[in-house]
C-alpha cells in the first residue's frame, strides 16, 4: 500500500525521504515522489511512475532538490492508473501547497465537481489531488493554514493519512489522520511523520501514534498535536523495540502472514466507500436496470483462487438474482465456443489484471458482443483497461504468491455486486438485503476478532502437518470454500489435497479414505449441516481423522463427531465463506511453516500468470 514519510530538521531532506521510501518498498508501490522546500528554490516536486531507483536517478540521489523540509510518498494506485501525474505529492493549482495522502476519499467526486464549478483545474485523476485543491480553496478563504486544514477535514469523508507542506508556512509539516496509520518520530537530526515505523527507524525509535482526527504540526524544534477543534493534546511517547531487519515485512515473518492479517482492513476498504445510506452504491458500474433485464445469461470467468471466488458467487448470485449463473475456468471458457452474445453479462475476476487466460476469455466474450465487467485489484492493469466496466477491490498490493487478501476482497466485492444487481432487478426481499448489508458491515470486526486469537489453528497445523494427502469436504458454500482451502494447502505446503462436494464422495472418492486419512470437514452452512454431517460420519466410519470447521451455534454437534474442531464467528449464510476461509488460510500457512516450505515463493508458481 501507499507509504508516507515527512522530515523537517537540520539536514537535507531529500536523501532522508528517499531512504525512508526505500524502507517501505516491501509494501508494494507503482510510483513515487518527493516534495522539498527551501527558501531559495521554493517548493520542488519530483515524481515518477516505476521503481524508487527511477526517482532517485531523477533527483541524483537527492542532490538536485534542496531544503530541510519535505514529504515523500510511494503510491499504489486506487483512483487513476499508475502514472507520473497520478503519483504523489499532489500540488495545488497555485503551486503553494504539496500533499501526500494514504487512504480513500469517498466523496471526492462531489468535491471535485464543486471545485470545478469554482474554476479549479485538475491535473490528475486521483482523489488525493482533490484534497490538495480543496485545501488551497479554503486557505484562500481564511489565509490560515491550520484553519484551512480543519475545514478540509470536516468536509472530506473516507480514510486518510495526510502530510502537507505549504510555501506560506515554511518551517512546518502538517499531518492529519483518520482510519489510516500515521506516526510522529522525534529524532536528533529533526522530526518525522511516517505511515510506517520502518521508514524512520534508522533515525529514531521515539515515536507517537496519532489518533483519528488529530492534527500535528511538526517543526525541526518539536511537535504539537491538536484535536480536530484545535485543542492541544499531550501524547504518550513509545520506544520502538524491534530491529530494522524485522521491518522488511513490516515485522511479520512472511508476506503471506502479513496479508492474512491485513484482511479486516482490506475488506473494510472494499466495503465502506460503497455503502451509502443503507444501499450498495457502485458508481463504476454503468449499466442500468433495463440493461440488466436484457442479460439472459451471466458468466463468471476466472482462474485459480479468483475462479473459486466465482464458485462461491454462483451460489450467492443465484439466490439473490434468481438467474442462472455459470462459472467457468477462463482457460476452458475461451476455447469452448461459449454461448455468449449481446444479451450476456460476463464478469471476469483477476487480482493481477494480467492473467492471460482471463484476458483472452474476456476478449473472446467481447468479440461475441457480451458486456464485460472486471473485478480487479491492480489499477490500470490490462484487464481493467479493456473491460467495459471495472470494479477495483482495493486490497492493496499482494506480494505473496498465494493469494489471501485479494481473494477475500474479491469475494466481498462480488457480494456487494450481487446485492447491487439484485436491487436493480428487484429480486431481493428488503429484509434479506438489509440483513446481508448489516452483517457485511460487521464482518471486518468479526474477522479481526478471529485473527486476534487463533492458537487452536496453529496447534492443529502442528498436529496434522505430516499428512501426505488431505480431503476438504462440504456442501454448497462450504464446498466452494473448500476449493480455496485445498488450493492454499497444496500450493504452499506441497501436500496433495482435493476438495469434494460431500455428496459426491460415494460416487468414487470414498475409496481413497483409509484409516488415518485427514479429512477437513466444512460445516458452516446451516441449511445443509445435517446432510454434511452424515457424510462426515461416513468418512469417520472408514477410519478418517476429521478436522472440522464450523460456527459457534453448530460447535456442540460438530464436536460429537469430529476429532478436532475450529470455530469461526457466525454471519449471514451468504457471507459465511469470508470468515471460514481465513481459518483455512491460516491452517495452510502453519502447515507449510512446520514443513519448512518457502511460503511466499512456492516452487513452480508465479504471482502473475501471463502465459497459457
One-character DSSP codes across 460-490: HHHHHTT-SEEEEEESTHHHHHHHHHHHHHH
Q: Are strands 344-350 and 31-38 parallel, antiparallel or unpaired?
A: unpaired
Contacts of ligand M6R in 251-310 (CB under 6 A): 303-306
Residue range at the interface with ligand M6R (CB under 6 A); choices 6-14, 201-209, 316-324, 401-409:
401-409
Residue facing ligand M6R at closest CB distance: 304
415 is a site residue for ligand M6R (CB under 6 A): no
Residue range at the interface with ligand M6R (CB under 6 A); choices 120-128, 363-371, 397-405, 590-598:
397-405
The contact pattern for ligand M6R, residues 202-241, with x = CB under 6 A and - = no contact, is ----------------------------------------
482 is a site residue for ligand M6R (CB under 6 A): no
Please answer whether residues 561 and 533 qualify as being in contact, where contact means their C-beta atoms are separated by less than 8 angstroms.
Answer: yes
Closest distance between ligand M6R and the C-beta of residue 348, in Å? 9
Closest distance between ligand M6R and the C-beta of residue 488, in Å? 7
Q: Tell me whether residue 69 or residue 400 sits nearer to ligand M6R (CB atom).
A: 400
Say which residues have a Cβ less than 8 Å from residue 333's Cβ, sequence separation at least 6.
Answer: 299, 301, 361, 364
Q: Which residues are known to be catalytic?
A: 2, 607
316 is a site residue for ligand M6R (CB under 6 A): no
Phi-psi region at 449: left, alpha or beta (left = phi > 0; alpha = psi -120 to 50): alpha
Q: Tell me whether residue 259 or residue 415 sits nearer to ligand M6R (CB atom).
A: 259
Closest distance between ligand M6R and the C-beta of residue 376, in Å? 8
Binds ligand M6R (CB under 6 A): choice among 491, 493, 522, 547: 491
Residue range at the interface with ligand M6R (CB under 6 A); choices 115-123, 289-297, 396-404, 546-554:
396-404
CA distance 307 to 311: 6
Residue range at the interface with ligand M6R (CB under 6 A); choices 21-29, 78-86, 279-287, 345-353:
345-353
Please, is 504 exposed, middle or buried when counting C-beta atoms within 10 Å of its C-beta (0-12, 13-18, 19+)?
A: middle
Cβ count near 290 (within 10 Å)? 8
Say which residues have a Cβ less than 8 Å from residue 59's Cβ, sequence separation at least 6.
Answer: 14, 18, 34, 46, 65
Grid cell, residue 20, equals 525512508
Closest distance between ligand M6R and the C-beta of residue 610, in Å? 10
Phi-psi region at 36: left, alpha or beta (left = phi > 0; alpha = psi -120 to 50): beta
CA distance 134 to 501: 54
Contacts of ligand M6R in 582-611 (CB under 6 A): 605, 608-609
Phi-psi region at 508: left, alpha or beta (left = phi > 0; alpha = psi -120 to 50): left
CA distance 450 to 438: 19
Binds ligand M6R (CB under 6 A): choice among 78, 191, 352, 551: 352
Binds ligand M6R (CB under 6 A): choice among 195, 272, 358, 551: 358
CA distances from 145 to 135, 167, 194, 478, 512 (A): 8, 10, 21, 55, 71
Binds ligand M6R (CB under 6 A): choice among 74, 272, 355, 476: 355
Binding site for ligand M6R (CB under 6 A): 303-306, 350-352, 355, 358, 401-403, 487, 491, 605, 608-609
Amino acid at each position: 500500500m501507499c507509504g508516507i514519510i515527512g522530515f523537517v530538521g537540520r539536514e537535507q531532506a531529500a536523501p532522508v525521504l528517499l531512504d525512508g521510501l526505500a524502507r517501505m518498498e516491501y509494501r508494494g508501490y507503482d510510483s513515487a515522489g518527493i516534495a522539498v522546500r527551501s527558501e531559495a528554490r521554493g517548493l520542488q516536486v519530483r515524481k515518477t511512475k516505476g521503481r524508487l531507483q527511477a526517482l532517485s536517478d531523477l533527483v541524483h540521489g537527492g542532490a538536485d532538490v534542496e531544503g530541510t523540509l519535505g514529504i515523500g510518498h510511494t503510491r499504489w494506485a486506487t483512483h487513476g492508473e499508475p502514472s507520473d501525474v497520478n503519483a504523489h505529492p499532489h500540488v495545488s493549482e497555485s503551486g503553494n501547497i504539496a500533499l501526500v495522502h494514504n487512504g480513500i476519499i469517498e466523496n471526492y467526486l462531489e468535491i471535485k465537481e464543486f471545485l470545478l464549478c469554482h474554476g479549479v483545474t485538475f491535473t490528475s485523476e486521483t482523489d488525493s489531488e482533490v484534497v490538495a485543491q480543496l485545501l488551497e480553496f479554503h486557505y484562500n478563504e481564511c489565509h490560515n493554514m491550520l484553519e484551512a486544514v480543519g475545514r478540509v477535514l470536516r468536509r472530506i469523508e473516507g480514510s486518510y493519512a495526510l502530510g502537507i507542506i505549504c510555501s506560506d508556512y515554511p518551517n512546518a509539516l502538517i499531518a492529519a489522520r483518520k482510519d489510516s496509520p500515521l506516526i510522529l518520530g522525534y529524532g536528533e537530526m529533526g522530526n518525522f511523520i511516517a505511515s510506517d515505523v520502518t521508514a524512520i527507524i534508522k533515525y529514531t525509535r521515539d515515536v507517537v501514534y496519532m489518533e483519528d482526527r488529530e492534527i500535528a504540526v511538526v517543526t525541526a524544534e518539536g511537535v504539537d498535536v491538536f484535536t480536530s477543534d484545535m485543542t492541544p493534546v499531550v501524547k504518550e511517547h513509545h520506544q520502538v523495540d524491534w530491529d530494522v531487519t524485522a521491518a522488511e515485512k513490516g515485522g511479520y515473518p512472511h508476506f503471506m502472514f502479513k496479508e492474512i492479517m491485513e484482511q479486516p482492513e482490506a475488506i473494510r476498504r472494499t466495503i465502506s466507500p460503497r455503502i451509502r445510506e443503507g444501499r450498495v452504491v457502485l458508481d463504476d458500474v454503468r449499466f442500468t436496470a433495463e440493461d440488466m433485464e436484457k442479460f439472459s445469461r451471466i458468466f463468471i470467468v476466472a482462474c485459480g483462487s479468483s475462479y473459486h471466488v466465482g464458485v462461491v458467487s454462483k451460489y450467492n448470485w443465484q439466490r439473490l438474482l434468481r438467474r442462472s449463473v455459470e462459472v467457468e475456468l477462463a482457460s476452458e471458457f475461451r476455447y469452448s465456443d461459449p454461448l455468449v452474445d449481446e444479451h450476456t453479462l460476463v464478469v471476469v475476476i483477476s487480482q493481477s489484471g494480467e492473467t492471460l487466460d482471463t484476458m483472452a476469455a474476456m476478449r473472446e466474450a467481447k468479440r461475441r458482443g457480451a458486456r464485460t465487467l472486471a473485478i480487479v485489484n491492480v489499477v490500470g492493469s490490462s484487464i481493467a483497461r479493456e473491460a467495459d466496466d471495472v470494479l477495483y477491490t482495493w486490497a492493496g498490493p499482494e506480494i505473496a504468491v498465494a493469494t489471501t487478501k485479494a481473494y477475500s476482497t474479491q469475494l466481498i466485492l462480488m457480494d456487494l455486486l450481487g446485492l447491487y444487481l439484485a436491487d436493480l432487478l428487484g429480486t431481493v426481499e428488503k429484509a434479506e438485503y438489509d440483513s446481508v448489508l448489516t452483517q457485511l458491515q460487521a464482518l471486518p470486526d468479526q474477522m479481526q476478532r478471529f485473527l486476534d486469537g487463533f492458537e487452536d489453528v496453529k496447534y492443529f497445523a502442528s498436529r496434522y502437518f505430516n499428512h501426505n494427502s488431505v480431503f476438504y469436504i462440504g456442501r454448497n458454500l462450504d464446498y466452494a470454500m473448500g476449493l480455496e482451502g485445498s488450493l492454499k494447502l497444496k500450493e504452499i505446503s506441497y501436500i496433495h489435497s482435493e476438495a469434494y462436494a460431500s455428496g459426491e464422495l460415494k460416487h468414487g472418492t470414498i475409496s481413497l479414505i483409509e484409516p488415518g486419512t485427514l479429512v477437513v470437514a466444512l460445516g458452516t452452512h446451516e441449511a445443509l449441516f445435517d446432510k454434511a454431517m452424515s457424510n462426515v460420519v461416513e468418512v469417520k466410519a472408514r477410519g478418517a481423522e476429521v478436522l472440522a470447521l464450523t460456527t459457534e451455534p453448530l460447535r456442540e454437534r460438530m464436536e460429537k463427531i469430529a476429532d478436532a474442531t475450529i470455530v469461526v464467528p457466525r454471519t449471514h449464510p451468504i457471507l459465511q465463506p469470508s470468515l471460514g476461509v481465513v481459518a483455512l488460510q491460516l491452517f495452510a500457512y502453519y502447515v507449510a511453516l512446520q514443513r519448512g516450505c518457502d511460503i511466499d515463493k512456492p516452487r513452480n508458481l508465479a504471482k502473475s500468470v501471463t502465459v497459457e
